[in-house]
A and B are shown apart, each in its own frame.
Chain A
Amino acid sequence: MKTRLGILLLGLTALVFACAPQKAPAPSAEKPAVAHPELSEDEKLIACSECHKEATPEVYEEWFKSRHGLAMVKCFQCHGTFETFHEPTRETCRTCHSNAYDNCPKDKACWECHSPHFFKKHAE
């Protein structure tokens, strides 16, 4: 079981790192950089975290223990769902943090300072 999961994780961690935005992306209609295995309509009805809990447990744990995790801010709120899947932008974060959006440096993505999924503030 452990070996199998380990293999799965290797692949899915790569996927998640591809998904996890490292830089501020410019909204565009460019060719997607993200590939996700094909999903049936039924599979699309499973919450992201249900699979990622096992597929990318580090990311899941980071999120689960964060303020976002405690407050139940879910994957789709930042990443969208299947039709609308996107890398988060500064505007995504603005939904709840518009003061920070206005006051933080405009040339940096939010997660350059607030680590993705964990979201510690500067001082923490």
Chain B
Amino acid sequence: MKLSRRQFIKRTAALTAASLVGIELPKSMKDAAQAADVDSWKPGVCRFCGVGCRVYLGLKGGKPVAIKGIPESATNKGYVCMKGMLFYKIIHHPERLKKPLYRERKDQPFREISWEEALDIAAKKFAEAVKNHGPNSVAYYGSGQALTEETYIFQKVMRAGLRTNNVEGNPRLCMASAVGGYLTSFGADEPIGSYADIEKAYCFFIIGSNMAECHPVLFRRVMNRKLSKPDEVKVINADPRVSPTSRIADLHLQFRPGTDLALLNAMAYVIVEEGLYDETFIKKYCKFKLGKPPKDVSFEEYKEFLKQYTPERAAEICGGNITPEKIRTAARWFAKSKATMSLWTMGINQRVRGVWANNLIHNLHLLTGQLCKPGADSFSLTGQPNACGGVREGGGLCHILPAHRPVKIDKLRHEVEDLWGVPRGRIPAKPGYHTIAMFRAVNEGKIKAMWINCTSPAQSLPNCDFYRKGLRRDDVFIVVTDIFPTKTTEVANLVLPTAFHFEKTGVYGCTERRSQLTVKVIDPPGEAKPEVWIVREWALRLAKELNDPVIKKCVEPFIGLEEGYELPKAIWEEYSQKLTKGRDNDLSAVTYEVLKQRPDGVQWPAPTKEHALKGGTYKKFVRGIDPLADKHAKGDDPYVFYGPAHKDHKLYIWLRPYKGAAEEPDAEYPFFLSTGRVIDHWHTSSMTGRIPELLRANPYAYVEINPKDARRLGINPNDMVEIETRRGKIVLPAKVYEGPIEGMVFIYWHDMHEERMANRVTKDAFDPGSKEPEFKICACRIRKVSGPKPLRPYVVGHKM
């Protein structure tokens, strides 16, 4: 900045006080006038986070001019955040990709080509790789923002067509540990309860989540609940960083990064020591488990294990403001409240022991029986709009086939092959590369052709410089499907322009098992196409190139269908009616017709049309609410935990020891480095950075530094600070703020500018169970390099 804020305010006020001179702001009423004069409102779902807000897109003369929330919505009650209210501005943005672009070598400029040529090239390159290097030399890397129909059709062609399980996506980076936690604790993926529990909860335990910024509309519901009964409803916020979420907290537990496992075990210790557990619930529904392969242990052994985590000992490990009394208070509130709801996201998932951290949150619910009753749930917040529906359920990760079927289980794999009508043995029995392994394979030249859809790994992978080396290789052919240029289109050979939200039809499945339909209402710009059309046409060419009728078979039911509605509808019908039938995420009665009749969508399981038309299942496993619980019931117990991963239908309380981060601070790199999002931007900011209001609200990444550390290092607000880790260096302006705990710095990761790109310094260590990287913690050193400097946002005008 040329001026300090102080100078700016001084000048501003002087001018104002003198004469109200200065520029007259345009005060353009154009937007407001258009919003007042909308021709028609078209319903759909927001394009951004995992909350699944229902919105109306306002059209005037066929052009999008406004967005408003839908008050009757079960998810957002009419509220939208700034991203939701403004994303209509992306639709006709001048930088939208409108023509296929190609270059043979990555040092060449792109040239526009026709779709015919583009699809021929994509088919030829993938076919060549398969012929010369085998099926595992090709890969698909997708997104929790792709529609379910898109993820499903991509993975079908990759697995049954090209015979590889190299199917991954960015949800590996954000919620794989939550999947691992749900499967190992409850035997079934995804939350038991729903958002509707928020209004019935009396204690919120928010850990590792800045939901005020990352799930703003859901936070608003939590906030409203708190404000409606300020004395009765307690909010505990556990986080190494004081964030805007902390503003509604009664108790903030600020612990040293990476000590969450000790804190959670200590809360369990208090619950057991003080007899706050629900003995009946434990006896009826739970088992205690230890190790891998897991073995049964007794409650007594668990109590013995917990003795390592007395509140006194945990307070020593956790540091920060943690005292034994705070741990006891948190445990008592959690256990004694009429209904406790835990909420967490990346702070728990993006840990080298993310699955264990998830298990330990579930443990607290299992010990206290804070589960299955109204307002009580262990509820993982999902980051992306369709990470649950499309990727977790649609088969978008290397080890899972559609409808929660592990690849390695022969029976389930053959079931999928039979449903698809392809020969048994067509889908390989071995899972493919998980995300980090996949990009390491790119680096090693093992992947020869890769399709990246609707995501930007060149910016979003941890330690991204290391992986960009591989992505830049000329012997790795890269196709990118997207709506805007990104850091990943910079390493592509072929860039295919895609339709945006409301320019195509499909389903998003949000955090609470809810599938909602958005129907196409406007045409995409230029020659941009829906992904489902692109995959179908590519697969037909692949079949010819490889002379393989099974590839054609994968898309045969969809040949000739109109791409805007009929094609995704047919794909959804195959997925929901054939693949999910009889599974725990049964969506077999949830047709497009039902979704149009049910504006709020349907929560699975919804095995019958009658149940689907009532909205599906608000709470899993509860008899009288969940039809599958009734189906699996053997006695009179009110709950039936029929999850596919626990054949004994029991819930597991795990003995998980405290484990710190993969890279802790030391004398050389003395600070913890953590990263996260800000409310105004979505992920890599390729979309939100192109909306002027959102860009201006947070034009670049800052590094947040605790005032005590800043003072010690002579760092003032807006000074330029170098952050150095074992991976590299970046330089960012400083925000001196009582946010991060002393000894920790926090960086926003949306900025695309090379100097400020957070993932150039993050670490790619990952959880051995979930394979999710530990974005949240690594070690760094910091130093002031200069005073404030004028900075330029990166994204505006970023062209191919």
B303 at the interface (CB under 8 A from A): no
Q: Are B85 and A71 in contact (CB under 8 A)?
A: no
Interface size on A, residues (CB 8 A): 61
The 5 closest A-B pairs by CB, nearest first: A11-B17, A8-B13, A27-B33, A11-B16, A32-B27
In the bound complex, residues from chain A placing their C-beta under 8 Å from that of B27 are 32-34, 85-87
16 A–B pairs (Cβ distance < 8 Å), ordered by A? A4-B10, A28-B29, A33-B27, A35-B21, A35-B24, A37-B22, A47-B698, A67-B220, A74-B82, A84-B693, A85-B26, A91-B36, A92-B35, A97-B78, A98-B70, A99-B78
Within 8 A of A (CB), among B73-97: 78-82, 85
Q: Are B80 and A39 in contact (CB under 8 A)?
A: no
Residue of chain B at shortest CB distance from A27: B33
Q: Which listed residue, A7, A36, A87, touches B17 by the CB 8 Å rule? A: A7
Within 8 A of A (CB), among B6-23: 8-18, 20-23
Q: Are B31 and A50 in contact (CB under 8 A)?
A: no
A15 at the interface (CB under 8 A from B): yes
Q: Produce 1/0 per residue, B60-78, CB < 8 A to A.
A: 0000001111110000001
Q: Knowing A46-B5, A86-B32, say if A34 contacts B25 (CB, 8 Å).
A: yes
In the bound complex, residues from chain B placing their C-beta under 8 Å from that of A31 are 24
In the bound complex, residues from chain B placing their C-beta under 8 Å from that of A14 are 16-17, 20
Interface stretch among B115-123, B211-219, B668-676? Answer: B211-219
User: In the complex the two chains form, what is the Cα distance from A57 to B140 in whole Å?
Assistant: 52
Q: Are A89 and B790 in contact (CB under 8 A)?
A: no
Within 8 A of B (CB), among A81-121: 81-92, 94-99
User: In the complex the two chains form, what is the Cα distance from A27 to B28 in whole Å?
Assistant: 9
User: In the complex the two chains form, what is the Cα distance from A27 to B78 in whole Å?
Assistant: 24
In the bound complex, residues from chain A placing their C-beta under 8 Å from that of B66 are 91, 95
Q: Which of A12, A33, A98 has the most CB of B within 10 A?
A: A98
Q: Are B22 and A36 in contact (CB under 8 A)?
A: yes
Q: Are B693 and A95 in contact (CB under 8 A)?
A: no
Q: Are A98 and B793 in contact (CB under 8 A)?
A: no
Q: Are A37 and B12 in contact (CB under 8 A)?
A: yes
Q: Are A47 and B697 in contact (CB under 8 A)?
A: yes
B696 at the interface (CB under 8 A from A): yes
User: In the complex the two chains form, what is the Cα distance from A67 to B696 in whole Å?
Assistant: 23
Q: Are B247 and A15 in contact (CB under 8 A)?
A: no
B3 at the interface (CB under 8 A from A): yes
Q: Knowing A91-B36, A96-B68, say if A10 contacts B17 (CB, 8 Å).
A: yes
Q: Which listed residue, B21, B78, B244, B692, touches A72 by the CB 8 Å rule? A: B244
Q: Are A76 and B10 in contact (CB under 8 A)?
A: no
Distance of A25 from chain B, by nearest CB (Å): 8
In the bound complex, residues from chain B placing their C-beta under 8 Å from that of A99 are 71, 78
Q: Which listed residue, A82, A89, A96, touches B696 by the CB 8 Å rule? A: A82
Q: Are B25 and A85 in contact (CB under 8 A)?
A: yes
Q: Are A95 and B67 in contact (CB under 8 A)?
A: yes
Q: Which listed residue, A25, A35, A54, touches B25 by the CB 8 Å rule? A: A35
B478 at the interface (CB under 8 A from A): no
Q: Are B24 and A34 in contact (CB under 8 A)?
A: yes
Q: Are B32 and A95 in contact (CB under 8 A)?
A: no
Residue of chain A at shortest CB distance from B37: A27
Q: Produce 1/0 per residue, B766-800, CB < 8 A to A.
A: 00000000000000000000000011010000000
Within 8 A of A (CB), among B250-266: none
Distance of A97 from chain B, by nearest CB (Å): 7
Q: Are A44 and B32 in contact (CB under 8 A)?
A: no
User: In the complex the two chains form, what is the Cα distance from A70 to B352 in whole Å?
Assistant: 32
* 20 new A-B contacts at CB < 8 Å, known A47-B696, A76-B697, A92-B35: A7-B13, A8-B13, A15-B16, A27-B33, A32-B24, A32-B27, A34-B25, A38-B23, A40-B2, A42-B2, A45-B700, A50-B5, A54-B9, A71-B79, A72-B212, A84-B26, A86-B28, A91-B32, A96-B80, A96-B85
Q: Knowing A51-B5, A95-B85, say if A32 contacts B25 (CB, 8 Å).
A: yes
Q: Are B28 and A80 in contact (CB under 8 A)?
A: yes
Distance of B59 from chain A, by nearest CB (Å): 15
Q: Are A95 and B71 in contact (CB under 8 A)?
A: no
In the bound complex, residues from chain A placing their C-beta under 8 Å from that of B625 are none
Q: Are B82 and A51 in contact (CB under 8 A)?
A: no
Residue of chain B at shortest CB distance from A33: B27
Distance of A4 from chain B, by nearest CB (Å): 7
B661 at the interface (CB under 8 A from A): no
Q: Are B223 and A67 in contact (CB under 8 A)?
A: yes
Residue of chain B at shortest CB distance from A72: B679
User: In the complex the two chains form, what is the Cα distance from A36 to B22 in whole Å?
Assistant: 6
In the bound complex, residues from chain B placing their C-beta under 8 Å from that of A92 are 32, 35
B248 at the interface (CB under 8 A from A): yes
Q: Are B10 and A67 in contact (CB under 8 A)?
A: no
In the bound complex, residues from chain A placing their C-beta under 8 Å from that of B17 are 7-8, 10-12, 14
A59 at the interface (CB under 8 A from B): no
Q: Which of A14, A71, A91 has the most CB of B within 10 A?
A: A71
In the bound complex, residues from chain A placing their C-beta under 8 Å from that of B1 are 42-43, 45-46
A29 at the interface (CB under 8 A from B): yes
Q: Are B697 and A96 in contact (CB under 8 A)?
A: no
A22 at the interface (CB under 8 A from B): no
Residue of chain B at shortest CB distance from A9: B13
Q: Which listed residue, B247, B693, B700, touches A80 by the CB 8 Å rule? A: B693
